[in-house]
Each structure stands twice: as structure tokens, then as C-alpha cells.
Amino acid sequence: MDPSQEALEFWIIRFLDACVAAEAVSASTWKAYRHTLSALARFMKSLGISQWAETRTPLLEAFLQDAMARRGWSPSTWNQKVAALRAFFRFLETEGVIPENPALPLRWCSPRRRIRLPLSADQRQRLWMMAEALPETPLGLRDRLIVALIAHLGLRAGQAVALTLEDVDLTRGCLRIPGRGGPRWLEIPETVARALHRYLHAGRPALIRNPEIRALLLNHRGEPLTRQGLWRAIKILALRAGLSLSISPERLRQPPGLPLLMNDRPM
């Protein structure tokens, strides 16, 4: 091994051994540290730098920028690298190898949250028409109800899969929705009422296997539908309607929200 590389590698090994001895990191984090620091040592060697004491913040920034440009790191990966560098140089500072930690000024990368716009009126209409065209099978009736609950009532995915039979009152035409201040009752428009009625009379009875299960929405095994299962049903329906797979319950439910809340509970 090149003497300059060996000098750099010596302190990497010391640092990693210290992590193991202190049980400070998981095995996956240990490997990530090793990978990041070895890459940094190679980068420094390419610049003719052979001692950790010669490391400065601009050099570390150049290392990160170079790697990000070549490998297309995500913001979370960038932050993992910064965390590794800060931990390593903190160790070197503690050991007296360097006078101060050059990794401290490194900036964190704030993930940019992708803003998903609501579906257009045309997209909502196309998806609903596809839902209405579903065959009158148990799962077809269920998926039609899912779209009705989210697109027409504005329920969230979690609210939809949490519904039970006791939350449905077709006689008064309302649904009980859990909320932070306690359950509220939501008036059901005719479109949703029809989907509910068909599912409860011809869909759910064919799916249910255990009468003790009270969940409204069931999967093909007769078990309560999960959020993942609900998402999958919407994405498959969107694909059949020729829409983007980026359609989600959150985009589908906007902008209705919960517009028709009733103050009193049904008796």
C-alpha cells in the first residue's frame, strides 16, 4: 500500500474499531462509514494529500459535490455521508490528530418534498367512470366503493380502511368518521350510498369468511383491507383508465375533504 494511503487508512481502521468496541453503530452503518471514509481517502490521495491534519472544510465539500455529481445521491444519502464525516473527524479531534473538526460546517441537505397536485376534473371523471364500469364482482364492487369514499367524500386512506360495519348507517344516510375530537357523522351523497348499498348486499357477503371481522372493506381472503391494498386497488384502476401510476389516495381525495359533517350522532 502507498505510504500516504496507509497513513490515512490507519486512522480509518482505528475509528471503525472504536465504533465496534463502543457498540455505537449498527453493522450497516459501520459498512457505510467504511465506504465513505475509504472513498474520501482515495479522493485525498488523488489531490496529493496524505495526512488527515491537512483536511479542510472546502476539501470535504469538494469530495461530497464530486461524488454527488457522479452518483446522483439523494438528499438522505448526502446527509448520511455528512454524518459519517462529522463522526470520523470528531474522533480524530478527540484523539488529537486534528486541531478542530472540519466537517462541522458541512451543510445538511433538506429533502425537497414533492408536491402532488390534485387530480383534474377530467382525471377524476375518467377514474370514476372506470370504477362504475367495473364488473359486479365482490372485488369490483369494493373497488367502486373505495373510489366513492375517497373521491366523493374525501376520506383519507387510513380513514377508509378503518371503517367498520357499525360506522355505516344507510337508513339515515351517514358514516361515522373518527377524529381527534371524537367521532363525527358524515352525510352520504347518493352516489356513495349506491356504491355502499351494492357492496354491502352483493360484495362483502361474498368476501367475508369470519363473521367476527367487522371491517367494512375486505381483501380477497376476507380479511380487513390494508392501506397498501387500498393504494394498490386505486393504482390498478388508474392504469386501466389510462392515467398515471403516480395517482394516490391523497391526490384523489383533493379537494373535497370532509364537506358534509353532521353535528349530531344518529340514534
What does the pLDDT look like over 205-246, one tens digit per residue? 999 999 999 999 999 999 999 988 998 898 888 888 887 656
What does the pLDDT look like over 144-154, one tens digit per residue? 999 999 888 88
pLDDT at residue 178 in the model:
73
Return the CATH class of domain 121-262: mainly alpha
Among 24-28, 101-105, 196-200, which stretch is predicted with the lowest mean pLDDT? 24-28
Residue 143 or residue 19, greater confidence: 143
Return the CATH class of domain 3-94: mainly alpha
Spans of all domains in the chain: 3-94, 121-262
Q: How far apart are CA 187 and CA 180, in angstroms?
A: 19
Does residue 1 surpass a pLDDT of 70? Answer: no
Alpha-helical segments (H) within the chain: 3-22, 27-46, 57-71, 75-94, 121-132, 138-147, 157-162, 190-198, 204-207, 227-240, 249-253
* Averaged pLDDT for residues 195-214: 95
What is the Cβ-side half-sphere exposure of residue 50, based on CA atoms within 13 angstroms? 8
pTM of the model: 0.55
